[in-house]
A and B are shown apart, each in its own frame.
Chain A
Amino acid sequence: MTEGDEQHDAVVGSKLLKDDERWNDVTPIYHSDAENAVVPIAASEEFKDAFAYFRAIVQKDERSERALQLTTHCAELNSANYTVWQYRRNILQSLGSDLHQELKYCAAIIEDNPKNYQVWHHRRVLVEWTKDPSKEIDFTDGILRDDSKNYHAWQHRQWVVEHFKLWGEAELDYSARLLEEDQRNNSAWNYRYFIISNTTGFKGDILEREINATLALIAKAPHNESSWNYLSGILLDAGQSASQQVVEFCESLYSDKKRRSPYLLSFMVDTLSEKIDKGNDAKDNVERAVKLLDELQQIDPMRRKYWLYQKRSIENAVQSKIGA
């Protein structure tokens, strides 16, 4: 490179392709008048240059080193252009490129663009090709350390675990560790449910263990929607009224006025509704449910209309039973 080139590069960041003799054989396709007519994007010179050459080369579906480099350049300018990534994948296959190297590159792009769909999809395809999940757990760990709720990271991790059957204690421990750090991390609860429901299922000792662990966390933070959602979720099959331990825990929590969260009260209403539906001691249960729903309208005023609706629901159901 001459001194002039270096200065040029320093100023514009990279050489324009129209000035690069290695691209002389390609006729760039700039925007037509039609494309410039309506809401044109204020693209930089470098952007217009790169994508004009991209558009030209992609017509021919050229699979070459220079095309690969062009996709790198274009991805840097717009990492959300899915055609760039699709073309890049085809080039990688044709050139027989080192996919482990590509995975490293992909990791760097994801770190810079962690909420971009295209780069996560690119990674997934690469892993499908290499059939090597060995880096994926650590990689998603890294992303989640920066943003413990990144949906793409969780989705990728769940896909890897399912696809390569990486179910096991390690993943369960991972969710437990995250919940220890922050029991309000709803993604971690979801992950826990995902692992268990796809392995042992929620029954027997496992169900008991999960109930115990969840109740312990609820006791520490009774106003956490995530833990209560998990509790009702894991009891969907068995039924909330099935666990005497859970029923007693709720009563105990309820006896402390300061810890009566709306989640506790609605959980108790649901347990009563279960009993009512089964015909158990209908009158007492109905009265208690109605009282709790009145209380809910007080302590969760944002949803007062909903709780009133729930109350009427129960009252109507009882009325129709009496009438029947």
Chain B
Amino acid sequence: MFKSSAEGRCGFRGSFAAAPADQDCSGPYDGGHLAQTYSALCCLLVLGDDLSRVDKPGIVAGLRACQLPDGSFCAHSGGSENDMRFVFCAAAISYIIDDFSGINIDSVTDFIRRSVNYDGGIGQGPGLESHGGSTFCAVSTLSLLNRLWDKSVLSTAQIERLRRWCLRKQGVGFHGRANKPDDSCYTFWVGASLSLLGADAFIDHDKLREFVLSTQDATIGGFSKYADSHPDALHTYFSLAGLSLLHEPGLAPVFAALNTTARTAARVGQIRLGHQPP
């Protein structure tokens, strides 16, 4: 883990591509990345770690350095694209380390509000096309910030329009934008959004399940974006997570807002209360 907190470059790296593994703070290109920090924290939770060795103030400074004037986040202090993906990473990271001081909440919720589109869905940013991925990122962020139901960001009418936008993304499986083909990973992106919005009961569960299972590779296993394609880790994970939300037997329950299992998400609370894992 990258240690120096001075320049807002803290967090976890994805690899040591920009710095050798055996050195501390090295080089101007070495620094944390929001998506990697989120992933690393989730990995630690999955492994039962208590996060006591995590430099939380460093991470908070790293988040602060990544928030832009429009409220959104970029991925690292060296500069990158900015969109709803990193908004989610920032919220999830803050939730896991139980410290939201790295986020200007009014600013980020304003960004989300402005990203709600004319069709009721949410895009990667203001004016951008409504998309299942960005919709999940926005809804889960609001959930993690406890701003989903207080009408401070989304009115009741907007929540209803959002539910309908999501439900209309079901063809057989879910797709991510109107008139695009169904893709198994949206089983999670859209499915989880509906779950957080309290509208997952309105999904046609049987049809969705039928679609997801059709993307499974009969020879080597794993799930692909559609049937008769090539399975990959991403679609396999999101198909499983999506199936779990549909109460598929034999799968661990999922905590939609964090995109982890419920057991992993519970570790956050256990850490807060000082519980030891069994």
- Chain A residues in contact with chain B, CB under 8 A? 29, 32, 34-35, 51, 54-55, 58-61, 81-83, 86-87, 117-118, 120-121, 124-125, 149, 151, 154-155, 158, 162, 184-187, 190, 193-194, 197-198, 224-226, 229-230, 232-234, 236, 266, 301-303, 305-306, 309
Contact = CB atoms under 8 A, between A and B. Distances in A.
Interface string B9-33: 0000001111111100011110001
B20 A55 contact: yes
A302 B206 CA distance: 10
Interface stretch (B56-64, B73-81, B97-105, B257-265): B73-81
Contact of A186 (B78, B177, B207): B177
Given A61-B27, A87-B29, A117-B81, A185 B179 contact: yes
B81 A121 contact: yes
Contacts, number: 120
22 contacts: A32-B22, A34-B21, A34-B22, A54-B17, A55-B20, A58-B18, A83-B78, A121-B80, A151-B129, A154-B128, A154-B129, A162-B127, A186-B179, A190-B123, A190-B129, A193-B117, A198-B127, A226-B178, A226-B179, A266-B164, A306-B167, A309-B202
Contacts of B20: 29, 32, 55, 59
B170 A35 contact: no
B202 A230 contact: no
A64 to B, nearest CB: 16
A225 B175 CA distance: 13
Given A81-B17, A234-B118, A194 B127 contact: yes
B18 A225 contact: no
Contact of A306 (B19, B27, B28, B202): B202
A193 B118 contact: yes
Chain A interface mostly? helix
B124 A224 contact: no
Contact of B17 (A34, A51, A305): A51
Contacts of A162: 127
Contacts of B168: 225, 303
B1 interface: no
A58 B27 contact: yes
Nearest to B74: A121
Contacts of B123: 190
Nearest to B202: A306
Nearest to B168: A225
B179 A184 contact: yes
A86 B79 contact: yes
Given A61-B29, A125-B79, A306-B199, 14 more contacts: A34-B21, A58-B27, A59-B19, A59-B27, A118-B80, A154-B129, A155-B124, A186-B129, A186-B177, A187-B177, A190-B123, A197-B127, A234-B118, A266-B164
A225 B204 contact: no
Top 5 closest pairs, chain A to chain B, by CB: A233-B118, A229-B119, A306-B202, A190-B129, A186-B178
